[in-house]
Structure formats: structure tokens, C-alpha cells
Amino acid sequence: MGPGPSDVHPRVLSAMARPTVGHLDPTFIGLMDQIKELLQYAFQTSNELTLAVSGPGSAGMETCFVNLLEPGDRVVVCVNGVFGGRMKENVERCGGTALLVEDAWGQEVDPDKVEAALKAHPGVKAVAFVHAETSTGVKSDAMALCEAARRHGALAIVDVVTSIGGIPVMVDAWGADAVYAGSQKCLSCTPGLSPVTFSPRAVEAMRARTGKVQSWFLDLGLVMSYWGGGVKRAYHHTAPVNALYGLHEALLMLKEEGLDRAWARHWTHHLALRDGLEAMGLHFLVAKPHRLPQLNTVFVPDGVDEAAVRSRLLDRHGIELGAGLGALAGKVWRVGLMGQSSTVSNVLLFLTALETILAEMGAPIVVGAAVPAAMAAEHLP
């Protein structure tokens, strides 16, 4: 119940145990085509250039930046947590200039600041932002930020690693251009794959490059000779066959549940968790309109050793929480309700275990109120 990875369903684990075939085997090529279609559904896009990068979400992030940026390009980078900072690193390692738009950790990216930065720096190549900031549990307005980029002729590079499968990700409706995700959060697959998708505008920008992509492995011009549909597949690298079996199964499960139902499930369980924690006397970092249902960042009560609480939860109950990062270290817990981990039983188990441990430590909480609040009829069936 931390910031990822989430629990992996037995169906996914079973799929990964199937016999390994060659990465150019006709049967596997057919599976790749299905993965592409399922990713288009998860991303809500018709982008032809949609695939799973052989690497974690960080590899997906780097794929977006190295293929679109060249030395001298300027990018408006929105930083309101750890992963916006990593975007800045990518821009600079590509030889570009990062024009920072900064907001406090726990606050959403301010579209007005982005608009001001675009007006102050005409001709920027892209706007880069994190839709769901994993370090804080805050959601930013992807539609507004992508629209601002488009008004000023810039591409929109979007991190949806924690978003996809948990809250609406609408790549085509947003007008996003380069979007990367992760397999191990709300998709509930094992870590190690990064779904990505690129708009026709982004593909045009790649084709207009004047120099080689700085990464051979992540050069989409080469990778697409393996992932591209309608052509004979050319060897690029040995794909993680069994990991892709797992992603295929996880995406099938998402399709079977339906995006609307998956989003509603995450929201329902978030509300139950929220009501339980607030009844206990705990408080959230992020304001209500901008909270992620799949990642709940909660302040540690005064006088409580947050690391000791996490240790007891893990040792006694097998519950893993995330610690605070950066300036939030020691001040918050990050409670994940992602994918297969977003269940009624997990909410109630966590609230019961946390209340018991905090009461043992003499924390200033209300005992006995959390579970009844979480089980309120308007939230849980």
C-alpha cells in the first residue's frame, strides 16, 4: 500500500509463467499488436506510435525527451515534486535549457504560471509536467496545461506513471504529444515496462531532427522497426517476453473491468480511506480538489516516529507504506490504493492496524472511529 509497485494479480503472475518464445516468433508478434491496441485503450488515444518501452517509467521518460529534444532547445518544466525535477535533469542532459515553473510540494501546477512562462519565452520546444506527482499525491490539470502548450506552438510532454488506470488519462482529448507511464502502479503489473504514446505532431518533430538521438537503445526510429505494425519486424533488442505477457494480461483485466469502473473503484476506496483517517484525527497534505485517489499523502501525528510505524505495519501486518521524500521526509506517509491494491479489505485492514499502532504509541488520535467512518453507506457497497 505504498507508492508502487502495487499488488500483482495471480492472473498476471500466471501469464508471466508461460513458456518463453522468441521475440520474433509470429505468435509473440501477434501479442505485441494486441498490447498496442490495449495501450491505446488505456491511454484513450488513436496514436499509431504507441508501445511499451523495455524499461521502467524512467526509461519511458527518457524516451520522450531524447527523441524530441536537441541541443539548444528550451523547455518549460513544471516542478512541484521529485519527478518534475527529473524532467529538468532530462532536458539538461539532452543539451537543452529548462525554464522552471515551480510550485510548492503538495500543490498542483499553476496553469497561469505556465502561461506566463510561455509568453515570456516565445518559441519553446515543449512544456513538460507530471500529471500525478507520486512524491506528494497531487493531481494537476492536464487539459489546461496541454492547451497552454498548444496555444504557444509547444509540444506537451506528460508523465502519467501514477495516473494510468487509476484516474482519467485522456491523451487525445488533452492534446498531449508525448506521454509515458509505468507498468507497476495502477496497472498492477510487475515493474520494468513503460507504456508510451506519441501524437502525430510529436512524430513530425522527431522526423525534423537535425542530429541523431543521443540514445541508441531508446531511439524510436530504430525501436519502431521492431514494434511498428504492418511491416516485417526487424530485430532491435531482445524484448522482455515474459514481462510483456504480464502487461498484456494486466491490460486485458483493465479492459474487462472498464476504465470508468476502474476509476470509480479507486475513487470510492479513496473516499472510504479519507473518511476513516480524518475520523481518526489525521490530515492530508493535498487540498481536496487536487488529491489523487490512488496515492494518499497523510501527515504524521505530532510526536510519532513515522519510520517505527511503517516498520510495525510491515512486520505485523505485511502492509508497506511509502515515506515522505525531500522536505516531506519524516513528516508524511504515502498510502497507495493502486490497481489490485485498491480494495475494501485493504482499506479496513490498514485503518485497523494503523489505529492500533498509533494508540500503542500514545498518539493524539480518536480511537474506534476510523472503521465505522470508512464503512459509511454512501462510500462502500
Which of 115-119, 143-147, 219-223 comes out lowest in average pLDDT? 219-223
Q: Nearest Cα to 294, choosing from 328, 319, 271?
A: 271
* Tens digits of residue pLDDT in 149-158: 999 999 999 9
- Model confidence at 378, pLDDT cuts 50, 70, 90, reads low
Looking at 236-372, which runs of residues are DSSP E strands? 295-299, 322-323, 332-336
Mean pLDDT over residues 358-367, rounded?
Answer: 96
- Model confidence at 230, pLDDT cuts 50, 70, 90, reads low
Mean pLDDT in the chain?
A: 96
d(CA 15, CA 30): 16
* Tens digits of residue pLDDT in 78-91: 999 999 999 999 99
Looking at the chain, which runs of residues are DSSP E strands? 49-53, 74-79, 97-102, 126-130, 132-133, 138-139, 155-159, 178-180, 194-198, 295-299, 322-323, 332-336
Mean pLDDT over residues 133-161, rounded?
Answer: 98
Name the one residue in this structure whose C-alpha cell is 494486466: 250
* pLDDT score of 377: 58
DSSP 178-226: EEE--SSSTT---SS-EEEEE-HHHHHHHHT-SS--S-STT-HHHHHHH
* pLDDT score of 197: 98
Hey, which residues does 159 pair with through a beta bridge? 130, 180
Name the one residue in this structure whose C-alpha cell is 541541443: 71
Q: Nearest Cα to 68, choosing from 44, 49, 43?
A: 49
- At residue 140, φ and ψ (nearest 5 deg) are -105, 165
User: 65 with 157: CB under 8 angstroms?
Assistant: yes
Residues in the chain: 381
Query: Which pTM value belongs to this model?
Result: 0.96
* pLDDT score of 231: 58
* pLDDT score of 229: 55
Handedness of CA 316, 320, 325, 328 (dihedral sign): negative
Residue 61 carries which side chain, given as an amino acid letter? M
* Tens digits of residue pLDDT in 190-229: 999 999 999 999 999 999 999 999 999 999 999 988 887 5
SS3 322: strand
Hey, which residues does 198 pair with through a beta bridge? 49, 178
* Tens digits of residue pLDDT in 3-54: 999 999 999 999 999 999 998 899 999 999 999 999 999 999 999 999 999 9
| Residues above pLDDT 70, as percent of the chain | 98
* pLDDT score of 376: 86
Q: Which domains does the chain have, with CATH numbers?
A: 10-256 (3.40.640.10), 259-374 (3.90.1150.10)
User: 144 with 173: CB under 8 angstroms?
Assistant: no
